[in-house]
Structure formats: C-alpha cells, structure tokens
Structure 1
C-alpha cells in the first residue's frame, strides 16, 4: 500500500535531482570540468567513510555522512557561494534557511525535522560530528586545486593567506588531515600555484 509518506519522499527525491545542476567553481581532479554539488556531496561522503579513523574525537560516521550529503541541498534555491567570494559571505544565510525549510519540508514531518536539524548542526560547526564534516568540506576542494596547478586559487587570484585562513578549519576535526593539508598548501606555494 502506498502511503502519503512515500509520495512526499519521492517528491523530495525528484527535487534533489536539481543538485546535479548546481555547478561549483572547483574542477574535478586533473580536469577542466567543473564539479557539481551532487558530485561534491558524494565525494565528501566517501571521504568520511575512508578517513573517519583520522578524526581527533569519536564520531558517528553515519551521521557525518548524512551531514555531508545534506549540507549543500539548500543550494538548489540559494545557489553555490564561492568560499573566497569577496562580496557574498560564505556563511549561513537567511536565504539558505528558507531553502532548507522549503526543500526538506517536502519530506514527512519527522524526516523534515531531522534533516533540518542535521543541516543546522553542520552549519553551526560546534559538535565533533560537524567539525569532522566541515573538515571534509574544506579538504576536498584543496585536493582538487592542488591537482589542477592551483585551480580556483590561480583563476581568482586567491592568496596563500586567504587559503590558509579558510582551510585551517580542517584542524578542528583532524590534526592529521590538517598537517597533510598544510603541507599541500605550502607545496602549492613552492610550485608557484599559490601566491604568498
């Protein structure tokens, strides 16, 4: 028997297909093709599973996977904000909250509440789960830019100081991954792919 919940869930599943059309500034590894938000979220989910052992604190891997899969769904309505954008700040906005309520609101009430709560937890970045999720979110584009001779750093004249300031949040979830990331940032400077 088909339930009202099923109809709502299928409507949500159809709606989030739009995430595949949201283009990010970063490009795929060693590629000229821009990544879309769905690819980004999938990659973060895989990174979470693979790199969980490097979290400084115990984490609920399934919850972190949910976080990274959910975190950018609001961009269906709000669009992607480039992390180094000098005009629009890359922080939680009223626009994103409105988007979260609309899109997650397609789901049955209990699921909608859970997804909004998970999204808000990621945005606040205060829990150990959120800190690790945010580490993954900052780490993936760093790896991409390093593989693409500076990628968006070179394309948009982003300086070492700006990159370092944004990426040091990785340390909040994993000192080991931050050490790796910091070395990669410094290597990018040495290779001339990031201006100091």
Structure 2
C-alpha cells in the first residue's frame, strides 16, 4: 500500500508540474506573464460546462477530456511545430509519457485517463472534435486577452490566422464570431485613439 501511495504522490507531483509549464506559443511571443498548461486546461474544462444540452456531445466526458488532453506535457513540455520536432516524434514522446503517468495510478483510473487522451488524439468522436475546438478557441481567447493586457492590438494575429476556418462545432463557431467582433471593435478604437 505504501508503494501505491508513493506512486500517487509522484502522479500528483507530475500533474502539478503543469502549473509551472508555460505555454510555448506565449513564451515564443515574449508575453510578459505567459499562462501555464494547467491554466489552459482549467479554462477549457470550464468552457465545456457550457456545452449546449441540445447537442449529442457528452458534456462530462468533454470536461474530463479537457483535464487530461495535455497531461503528458508535464513530462515532455509544450512542444509546438516551431520546436523542430516532427509530429510523429511529438506523438511518440507524449504517448510514452501518458503511459508512464497512467501506470502510477490505480488501473481503472489510469485506463480512463489513457482512453480519454487517446480519444482526444484521434479526434474522431463528437467529444474529441468539440474539445479540439475548445483547445483552439481558448488559444485565441488568450491571444486577444494578451493583446489587450499588453496594449498591442493585432500583435498576436498569427494565432487567429492559423485557426481561421478550423472550428467544426456550431457552438464554438458562434463564440469565435463574437470574439472576432469584439477584437475588431477593440482594434478600431485603438486606431481612433492614435489619429
């Protein structure tokens, strides 16, 4: 039993690392106080609370998926396409890490986390499709917030450009439209203040 408890302590410690792993895209863009992976996952889980009951998407499964989709990053870090690591190598590293993490905890919980992670990675179920939309949406919401905080309108346009047309769920598409309208208004006000 002591070894099981020790494994849980290691698991909790590893997951806790996510509070200190900064999101690479923000670090690369010299954001003053970049969010952590844990912060990103947390807001995604909160967003999942707002999944419309009219959809065929399992809200609780989405919340869980949000909480585990980047869990492997506590070991491998937040790898982006700019890091010079192939997608195949990234997937291999993350899969090795998630298997290790899940091996530390009771089998039933470990299997649930592993299956949720694999489902997200496959991106084929309605839940995985929705969570992938939440992942992208949280990124552009955060980009907009950083533009406002740092008073640099449009400075993070690349995040909006790379996600344009990529959202698949109607509900998140409506959020994107609202965010784009708010962002456009903020840019217009900023331009008015400089003239």
Bin for the TM-score computed over the shorter chain: 0.7 to 0.9
Aligned residues: 180
In 1, Cα distance between the equivalents of 2:160 and 2:6?
49
Q: Secondary structure of 2:166's match? A: helix
Higher strand share: 1
Q: Would you say the 8 A contact 1:125–1:134 is kept in 2?
A: yes
Unaligned regions of 5+ residues in structure 2, if any? 191-195
CA RMSD of aligned residues (A): 3.3
Tell me the equivalent position of 2:133.
135
In 1, Cα distance between the equivalents of 2:73 and 2:97?
8
Q: Would you say the 8 A contact 1:75–1:96 is kept in 2?
A: yes
In 2, Cα distance between the equivalents of 1:159 and 1:133?
18
Q: Which has the larger radius of gyration?
A: 2
- TM-score under structure 2 normalisation? 0.75
In 2, Cα distance between the equivalents of 1:129 and 1:158?
27
Shift of 1:58: 1.8
Q: Would you say the 8 A contact 1:26–1:144 is kept in 2?
A: no
Superposition pairs of residues 97-108 of structure 1, within 5 angstroms: 97-108=95-106
Unaligned regions of 5+ residues in structure 1, if any? none
Tell me the equivalent position of 1:42.
42
Out of 155, 161, 166, which is 1:169 matched to? 166
Q: Would you say the 8 A contact 1:57–1:128 is kept in 2?
A: no
After TM superposition, the runs of 4+ consecutive aligned structure 1 residues lying more than 6 A away are 150-153
Shift of 1:88: 3.8
Give a deviation string over 1:56-106, Cα, whole Å, max 9, x none: 732222211111101111011221023x63744567611110011111111
- TM-score under structure 1 normalisation? 0.75
Q: Would you say the 8 A contact 1:26–1:141 is kept in 2?
A: no
Q: Secondary structure of 2:56's match? A: coil
In 2, Cα distance between the equivalents of 1:135 and 1:113?
24
Out of 155, 169, 180, which is 2:175 matched to? 180
Q: Secondary structure of 1:34's match? A: coil
Superposition pairs of residues 52-91 of structure 1, within 5 angstroms: 52-53=51-52, 57-82=55-80, 85=82, 87-88=84-85
Higher helix share: 2
